[in-house]
Amino acid sequence: MSSTAKAHGLDGTLTEPDWPPLTEPEVRDLLLQFPELLPPFRILSVSPRPLSAAAVVLTREARVFVKRHARAVRDAAGVGEEHRFMNHLRQRGAPIPEVFNDIDGRTAVERGDWTYEVQSVPRGVDAYEQAISWTPFQCVEHAKALGQAMARLHQAAEGFDAPPRSGHALVAGFSIYAAADPAAAFDRYVETRPALQEYLAGSGCGAEALDLLTPFHAEMKPLLQDLAPMWTHNDLHPSNVFWSSTDSDAHVTAAIDFGLCDRTNAVHDMAHAIERSIVDWLGLLNHPHEPDRVAIHYDQLWALLEGYESVRRLTQPEAHALAPMLALCHAEFALSETDYFLSALGSKEKAWYACEGYLVLHARWWRSGGAKLLDALRRWAGTRPLSMEGTRA
């Protein structure tokens, strides 16, 4: 199993995983501490996701999902933040995997250099299991279904008032561009991450990104006070949900992978969903000097928005904030990912992909080829019926 395991690479190809795959002895030793699960234990499949090690495991009772994090990246306290949010969503009726407790009542278990968690495998099918992350939907109907699922998650998230996460790597937060002075907030963010600070001092990509993104923050700044804070998923793309089938009329049966969740707002979450599925970013990486060659899937964009608003209507400020938020939402996660590659993996090569290839290249694109997408969203916001303002379907 371990010799053939592959992970999704940053350029869209399959590559050797950064973290050693889970082994059956390792899984067996862990799951013996979970009283709800009975042996024998057998690994059925290994996840190709690159930022941790995970596998679907068959027990005597059911299939479960076992995930192992590097403890330096996500300790038990950090994973526990995710689990508390998931528990709130489940209590509000959202279809979220169950998180199992070990014999000591822990949902996140630290062992040596690792942190483990065990979740149920949701009902439905993983229709995008082999799809590279941040690639389009298979059809417009799936985009609409994901929009509906996201809106229901936002409704279920109401009332969860935990503070924002702080200091964790690989979190899609909203602090830099939620501030009145993004440059000062950027400096505060970087100062707590020494490896990132050193890298940015040598590359200059942080200063370039701040300059490129300044107009979008100026556009969104008057609307910030009307964006209600909310804990959100921040990584809702088609391979982070389970589906009722692989057919075009499938609906979402569960949302998974809450590793990037944080206290942001509904527009931030929606912008991430659009960014990860509507734009062909691999095309931009392959043709960085030809921004107009990057495909934009407008039919899926309008379907996603239609699906969302069939469940939860955006307010007028939320709708008008969507275009600038779309240009800004990637920045904080790109910095967090850069820091992860430097601090956890010691890889300047991968840090380049996150900083120059993600943070800066995307920021440039929003000022060139992506401007037409932002203008389309501005027109959409300006033509929505005023009767929608402030309503919730």
pLDDT in tens, 311-352: 999 999 999 999 999 999 999 999 999 999 999 999 999 999
The answer to whether the predicted template modeling score (pTM) of the entire model surpasses 0.95 is: no
pLDDT 10s digits, 3-36? 456 545 455 555 677 899 999 999 999 999 999 9
pLDDT mean over 267-281: 95
Task: Work out the average pLDDT over 297-323.
Answer: 97
Q: For residues 101 and 224, state if they share a domain.
A: no
Going by pLDDT thresholds of 50, 70 and 90, the confidence category of residue 140 is: very high
Q: Do 223 and 328 share a domain, yes or no?
A: yes
Q: Which domain holds residue 347?
A: 140-388
Q: How many residues does the chain have?
A: 393
Listed residue (263, 269, 252, 373) closest to 318, CA to CA: 269
- Domain-embedded: residue 170: yes
For residues 114-136, give the mean pLDDT. Answer: 91
3-state secondary structure 11-34: CCCEECCCCCCCCHHHHHHHHCCC
Query: How many percent of the chain have pLDDT more than 70?
Result: 94
Longest dimension (CA), the chain: 60
Q: What is the pLDDT of residue 1?
A: 39
Give the residue from 72, 90, 120 where a domain finishes: 120
Average pLDDT over residues 58-67: 95
Alpha helix positions (H), the chain: 24-31, 76-91, 140-157, 182-191, 194-203, 205-220, 266-278, 281-286, 298-309, 316-328, 330-343, 348-354, 361-366, 371-383
Q: Is the pLDDT of residue 391 over 70?
A: no
Do 55 and 184 fall within a single domain? no
pLDDT at residue 171 is higher than 80: yes
Both 165 and 22 in one domain: the answer is no
**Whether residue 386 has pLDDT greater than 80:** no
Give the per-residue pLDDT at 129. Answer: 85
The arithmetic mean of pLDDT across residues 51-60, rounded, is 94
In a domain, residue 307? The reply is yes
Read off the CATH number of the domain in which 103 is found: 3.30.200.20
- Domain shared by 149 and 82, yes or no: no
Tokens of 228: 């209600």
Residues 207 and 286 in one domain: yes
More confident residue, 52 or 373: 373
Q: Per-residue confidence at 270, pLDDT binned at 50, 70, 90? A: very high
Shared-domain flag, residues 49 and 155: no
The dihedral through the CA atoms of 310, 316, 317, 323 has a sign that is positive
Q: Where are the alpha helices (DSSP H) in 251-291?
A: 266-278, 281-286
What local confidence, expressed as pLDDT, does residue 3 receive? 44
CA separation for the pair 280, 272 (Å, rounded): 14
Query: Is residue 132 in some structural domain?
Result: no
Residue 364 sits in a domain of what CATH number?
A: 3.90.1200.10
Structural domain contains residue 244 = yes
Residue 133 within any structural domain of the chain: no
Q: ∠ CA(340), CA(346), CA(347), 5° rounding?
A: 85
If one compares 149 and 1, the residue with the highest pLDDT of the two is 149
Query: What distances in angstroms separate CA 209 from CA 216, 330, 363, 373, 387, one per listed residue?
Result: 12, 11, 6, 19, 37
For residue 16, with 0-12 CB atoms within 10 Å meaning exposed, 13-18 middle and 19 or more buried, which class applies? exposed
DSSP string, 72-117: TTS-HHHHHHHHHHHHHHHHTT---PPBPP-TTS-SSEEETTEEEE
pLDDT of residue 286: 80
For residues 41-62, average pLDDT: 91
Mean pLDDT of the chain, nearest integer: 92
Least confident interval from 70-79, 282-291, 343-352: 282-291
pLDDT recorded at residue 285: 81
pLDDT tens across 199-241, in order? Answer: 999 999 999 999 999 999 999 999 999 999 999 999 999 999 9
Residues 249, 374 within the same domain: yes
The first and second tokens of residue 148, run together, are 């509906």
- For 20-36, b/e burial (b = at least 16 CB within 10 A) is ebbeeebbeebbebbee
Query: How confident is the model at residue 90, as a pLDDT?
Result: 97
Q: Does residue 130 sit within a domain?
A: no
The number of folded domains in the chain is 2
Domain ends where: 120, 148, 176?
120
The pLDDT of residue 133 is above 60: yes
Q: How many Å is the Cα radius of gyration of the chain?
A: 20
Is the same domain home to 304 and 223?
yes
On whether both 200 and 309 belong to a single domain, the answer is yes
Give the separation between CA 17 and CA 208, rounded to whole angstroms.
31
**Does residue 384 form part of some domain?**
yes
Together in a domain, 280 and 150: yes
Residue with tokens 């049966």: 253
In this structure, are 157 and 31 located in the same domain? no
Is 62 inside any structural domain?
Answer: yes
User: Among residues 120, 148, 183, which one ends one of the domains?
Assistant: 120
